[in-house]
Amino acid sequence: MIEAFDNDWFDAGQLYKRWLSGHAPWFPSLPRDDTPAWYRDLPIGVRWYAWMEHRSFDRWYPHFVAYDGFVPLVKEIQQQGVRVIPYMNYRLWDTKWRTEKEREEFERIGRPSAVKDRRGHIFTEKYNSLFVVMCPAAAGYQQKMRGELERVAGYGVDGLYLDQVSAGRALPCFDPGHGHALGGGDNWLEHGFWKYLARFREELKRSHPDLIFEVEDMAEPYAHLADGFLANRSFVIDPGARRLPLFPSIYAGRVQFTGRNVSYEDPQEAYFHKLGEMLVQGEQIGPTTLLVTLGDEKRKAFLKALAHTRHALLPYFNAGEMARPLELEGVPTVSADWGYYGPRILDSPAVLNGVWKRGDSLAVVFVNVTAEAVATDVPLAAAVREIRAEAPALYRCEGASDQSAAEPLDARAQPPLRLEPYGVAVWMIDERSLDAEARGRVEAMARTLREVRAHGACLRAAASAAPAATNSMSSG
């Protein structure tokens, strides 16, 4: 696709999106009607590793058998209202085995199904063990995986996380027994995942209608096969490069994004930057290693505030589209070490924002990711031009108890936004006279932000006890 245009990354993405919607078989519908509502509405994601009988990670694939006691534990967790999505791998076969049966299965299915190079040699990759990479077009491996998916779904879990699908590189394969062109590349999608995973997804969803599929990282040819992309390391860029929400500006709502890598090693402030970015970009908030959050009152309060705000924004995230983010002037730039295999110093504005469009209404979400209050003018004129409201009005949901959601303000000359430390606000732009549905949405947002602010007391206390020391700030 080649088309001349004169603007920036956002417009380039929108041109591509227009092409996708008419031409790409992998471009999902909006709203995404083959994804269960519970998953689209999920405020926070929990994924479970090391649930297998050996309780280790990156060993013994592709044998996914739960330890004794896993099934009742899953049920108990679900009874608390928490969804369980166990980890699986859909690309590798371990070269070590625990039993004679596993050795025999490797020789009978694993080795013949492996990717072969020009000379017929198998292809290996090293993680915690040495693995053979499977050719997705090999029927033997696919039948093996069909059985594994069926078994794990039968444990009563809510979804299946399939590691390396969408993240692992596609390898050309020269095995004449697999039924694809030799070295032609069609083994990966056309004769591989598009054929088998598409079918398995359909079959398993028939017997488990609420089951979802998540895959690792974000690669668009898998969008129709996955309900969620683990956007784990979408921030892994060179220091100094600018992070742009290009992918969600095209795919948000059509596939869920399940958040960034948040780990023990991250310094304090990166937690707030990562979670803030997840919210404004419409992602599910998480994954974080549970203890990273649960051991810290300030993190818990922030996570909770963001989860509730996300919940109120779901009509925009799941049935709306991302519009161009605002350029806020005079907001300080803050640096933080985002981690992930070594120091990774990245810059962010202290106040992050996302603009979401649903029909002829807009929701602009703001998050202060720092321990200091920030005030900023908000240039709305360009955003308002995105919609065709006859008499656009602004509804400022900032959590003030004396602020009425029903009182519209002038969208062109509004007073500046003031956000307290780690504060959240949502500005909604809609008609001055709202219909019942839009009024309900605005009032729900105002109520949510009031509750978020009321319960943010421990965030404010923590921020005043430990002021700017947690962030290095500079004018930007």
Contact with Zn ion (CB under 5 A) among 40, 178, 298, 310: 178
- C-beta closer to Zn ion: residue 117 or 386: 117
Stretch that binds Zn ion, among 103-111, 177-185, 359-367, 407-415 (CB under 5 A): 177-185
175 touches Zn ion (CB under 5 A): yes
CA distance 358 to 323: 10
Residue 190 Cβ vs Zn ion, minimum distance, rounded to whole Å = 12
173 touches Zn ion (CB under 5 A): yes
Residues in CB range of 339: below 8 A, 6 or more apart = 261, 263, 265, 266, 267, 270
Residue 275 Cβ vs Zn ion, minimum distance, rounded to whole Å = 41
191 touches Zn ion (CB under 5 A): no
- C-beta closer to Zn ion: residue 137 or 371: 137
How far, in Å, are 102, 199, 384, 394 from residue 414 at the CA level? 68, 53, 13, 9
Count residues near Zn ion (CB under 5 A). 6
134 touches Zn ion (CB under 5 A): no
DSSP E strands: which ranges in 134-211? 159-163
Burial of 400 (0-12, 13-18, 19+ CB in 10 A): middle
Nearest Cα neighbor of 151 from 249, 64, 266 is: 64
Q: Rounded to 5 degrees, what angle do the CA atoms 353, 356, 362 make?
A: 105
Give Cα 429 to chain centroid, integer Å.
26
Stretch that binds Zn ion, among 2-10, 118-126, 187-195, 393-401 (CB under 5 A): 187-195
- C-beta closer to Zn ion: residue 39 or 106: 106
Within 10 angstroms of residue 60's Cβ, the number of other Cβ atoms is 20
- C-beta closer to Zn ion: residue 133 or 230: 133
310 touches Zn ion (CB under 5 A): no
Residue 173 Cβ vs Zn ion, minimum distance, rounded to whole Å = 3
- C-beta closer to Zn ion: residue 142 or 471: 142
How far, in Å, are 220, 288, 376, 379, 440 from residue 383 at the CA level? 28, 33, 16, 8, 22
Residue 220 Cβ vs Zn ion, minimum distance, rounded to whole Å = 23
- Here the tokens at position 85 are 């999505």
* HSE, side-chain direction, 13 A CA sphere, residue 421: 22
- C-beta closer to Zn ion: residue 184 or 440: 184
- C-beta closer to Zn ion: residue 175 or 266: 175
Stretch that binds Zn ion, among 185-193, 394-402, 404-412, 442-450 (CB under 5 A): 185-193
Chain positions contacting Zn ion, by CB under 5 A: 135, 137, 173, 175, 178, 187
